[in-house]
């Protein structure tokens, strides 16, 4: 059991790296296999298939306005997922929901507005607040983003019971420090419990780096306990997966300097986190840390991490690895309270919004950066066909003739591929046949 953690073993990422037995089974599917920890039996499936999104705007509106079908003792948890643009927030949201309703792209700022996803499992409702990536006014201007892109993540935080901070560990430029926007967001809402989620761990070849990243991003403190990383054996990093990891009891932290929110904790964390890159490492925690306080810009200036995370999870959202482990944790964190939505609701978005977002996702995927952000989408037909299929005709308006040629592609290949892939995604969201036709025109 990892000292200071309510979770033992591999359901908590740090526990799993240590190879400590888990109260959950089946948690070896991601990091366990990566680090050579023996596999366990898979956990029971989390409930039935999620409901489809209604194809009719009025029907979806009625569903959203329906009084929730409350169980006798309902529980609820509102979760804000924040992080830098392209960290994988929408991918994780879709995996948690079990159906794709949020747009996903390798390009930044695919998510343009806040939308809610709803997971209803037995007596518990999880409400996911999928938000745009945290950015600053300069970057917002560069990408021609609405002002809502700057304010929506903050609005989501105001309504959250728990915040997931998502970090892309495959990006070696940014993975060892939280962005200033994320730190600012956490410091403005220090009373909201936060969890660190390291994403894209399957891409990281050198697994020992996960411990270094975790230590940096937490300032060496998790759930009020100090982490200590200690060199155990001098050997190359590839043997990390083959050798047992060692738990080392950290010495009690020294008394903290009053009025210093991070400094003393950070110094102590750094003393114990001199990672030898060619050695096995173990992690343990001891000693109480101070509770989170409201911090000003000066406090955050030299800060890389946040020492108030309750838990750390490591997963590969795109492949769905370890998403169920995180989902189980979220279900356990839910508190007694009334549901917000009927159990048939999967998202707060209208069917047209889902359609627009998914088509724009494909445009972002297949066109140069400057083209997609200038496309205007106009839905001309949205109706049910003779055989019950959904017929959608949408015009894509572009500012230049050159953009039109790029969007259509040679022999119409690009626009055909966009229509085919978007149509498939819409079928999966609505659970019905979809006939999607796209037209490209130059504006005005």
* pLDDT recorded at residue 357: 92
Residue-range definition of the domain harbouring residue 409: 351-442
Mode of pairing for the β-strands spanning 390-398 and 434-442 = parallel
321 and 392 inside one domain: no
Contact at 8 Å (CB) between 82 and 134?
yes
Cβ neighbours, 10 Å, residue 254: 11
313 and 391 inside one domain: no
* pLDDT recorded at residue 228: 63
CATH number at residue 381: 3.30.300.20
C-alpha dihedral sign at 12, 14, 20, 26: positive
Per-residue pLDDT of 322-377, as tens digits, reads: 999 999 999 999 999 999 999 999 999 999 999 999 999 999 888 877 777 788 99
d(CA 313, CA 329): 10
In a domain, 342, yes or no: no
In a domain, 2, yes or no: no
Phi then psi for 139, rounded to 5 degrees? Answer: -70, -35
* pLDDT recorded at residue 287: 44
d(CA 36, CA 346): 37
356 and 429 inside one domain: yes
In a domain, 7, yes or no: no
In a domain, 102, yes or no: yes
d(CA 6, CA 270): 24
Mean pLDDT of all residues belonging to the chain: 75
Question: Which tops the pLDDT comparison, 112 or 161?
Answer: 161
Give Dmax (Cα) for the chain: 75
331 and 376 inside one domain: no
Per-residue pLDDT of 122-166, as tens digits, reads: 999 999 986 664 444 444 444 444 444 334 446 778 889 999 999
* pLDDT recorded at residue 105: 76
d(CA 206, CA 275): 13
Q: Give the per-residue SS3 of 85-120.
A: CCCCHHHHHHHHHCCCCCCCCCCCCCCCCCEEEEEE
* pLDDT recorded at residue 327: 95
- pTM for this entry: 0.75
207 and 136 inside one domain: yes
Per-residue pLDDT of 213-257, as tens digits, reads: 999 999 999 988 887 654 433 344 443 333 333 323 333 333 333
143 and 173 inside one domain: yes
207 and 323 inside one domain: yes
Per-residue pLDDT of 183-197, as tens digits, reads: 988 999 999 999 999
Per-residue pLDDT of 3-49, as tens digits, reads: 333 433 344 555 554 443 343 333 333 334 444 545 454 454 565 58
CATH number at residue 309: 3.40.50.300
* pLDDT recorded at residue 206: 86
Q: Indicate whether 317 pLDDT > 50.
A: yes
The first and second tokens of residue 412, run together, are 């119409």
Surface-to-core class of residue 369, CB atoms within 10 Å of its CB (0-12 exposed, 13-18 middle, 19+ buried): exposed
* pLDDT recorded at residue 34: 41
Among left, alpha and beta (phi > 0; psi -120 to 50; other), residue 26 is left
In a domain, 244, yes or no: no
Give the mean model confidence (pLDDT) for residues 393-401. 94
Of the candidates 189, 212, 185, 213, the one whose C-alpha atom is nearest the C-alpha of residue 199 is 213
318 and 437 inside one domain: no
Q: Indicate whether 295 pLDDT > 70.
A: no
* pLDDT recorded at residue 28: 37
* pLDDT recorded at residue 290: 52
């Amino acid at each position: 059991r990892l000292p200071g953690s309510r979770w033992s073993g591999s359901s908590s990422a740090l526990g799993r790296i240590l190879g400590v037995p888990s109260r959950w089974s089946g948690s070896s599917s991601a990091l366990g296999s990566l680090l050579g920890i023996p596999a366990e039996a898979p956990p029971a499936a989390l409930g039935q298939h999620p409901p489809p999104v209604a194809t009719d705007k009025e029907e979806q509106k009625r569903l959203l306005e329906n009084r929730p079908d409350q169980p006798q003792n309902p529980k609820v948890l509102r979760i804000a997922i924040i992080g830098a643009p392209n960290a994988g927030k929408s991918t994780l949201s879709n995996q948690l929901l079990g159906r794709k309703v949020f747009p996903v792209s390798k390009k930044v700022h695919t998510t343009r507005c806040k939308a809610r996803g709803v997971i209803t499992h037995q007596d518990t409702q999880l409400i996911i607040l999928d938000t745009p990536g945290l950015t600053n006014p300069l970057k917002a201007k560069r990408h021609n983003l609405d002002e809502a892109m700057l304010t929506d993540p903050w609005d989501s935080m105001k309504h959250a019971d728990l915040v997931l901070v998502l970090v892309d560990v495959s990006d070696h430029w940014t993975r060892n420090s939280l962005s200033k926007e994320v730190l600012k967001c956490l410091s403005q809402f220090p009373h909201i419990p936060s969890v660190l989620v390291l994403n894209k761990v399957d891409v990281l070849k050198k697994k020992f780096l996960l411990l270094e990243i975790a230590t940096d991003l937490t300032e060496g403190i998790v759930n009020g306990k100090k982490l200590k990383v200690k060199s155990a054996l001098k050997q190359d990093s590839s043997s990390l997966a083959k050798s047992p990891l060692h738990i080392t009891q950290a010495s009690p932290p020294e008394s903290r300097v009053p009025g210093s929110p991070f400094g003393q904790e950070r110094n102590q964390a750094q003393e114990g986190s001199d990672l030898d890159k060619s050695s096995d490492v173990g992690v343990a925690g001891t000693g109480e840390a101070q509770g989170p306080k409201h911090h000003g810009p000066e406090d955050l200036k030299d800060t890389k991490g946040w020492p108030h995370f309750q838990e750390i999870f490591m997963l590969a959202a795109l492949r769905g690895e370890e998403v169920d482990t995180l989902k189980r944790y979220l279900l356990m964190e839910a508190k007694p309270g009334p549901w917000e939505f009927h159990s048939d609701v999967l998202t707060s978005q209208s069917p047209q919004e889902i359609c627009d977002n998914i088509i724009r996702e494909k445009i972002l995927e297949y066109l140069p950066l400057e083209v997609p952000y200038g496309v205007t989408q106009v839905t001309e037909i949205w109706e049910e066909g003779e055989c019950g299929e959904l017929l959608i005709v949408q015009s894509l308006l572009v500012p230049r003739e050159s953009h039109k040629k790029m969007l259509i592609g040679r022999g119409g290949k690009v626009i055909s591929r966009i229509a085919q892939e978007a149509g498939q995604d819409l079928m999966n969201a609505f659970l019905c046949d979809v006939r999607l036709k796209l037209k490209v025109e130059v504006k005005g």
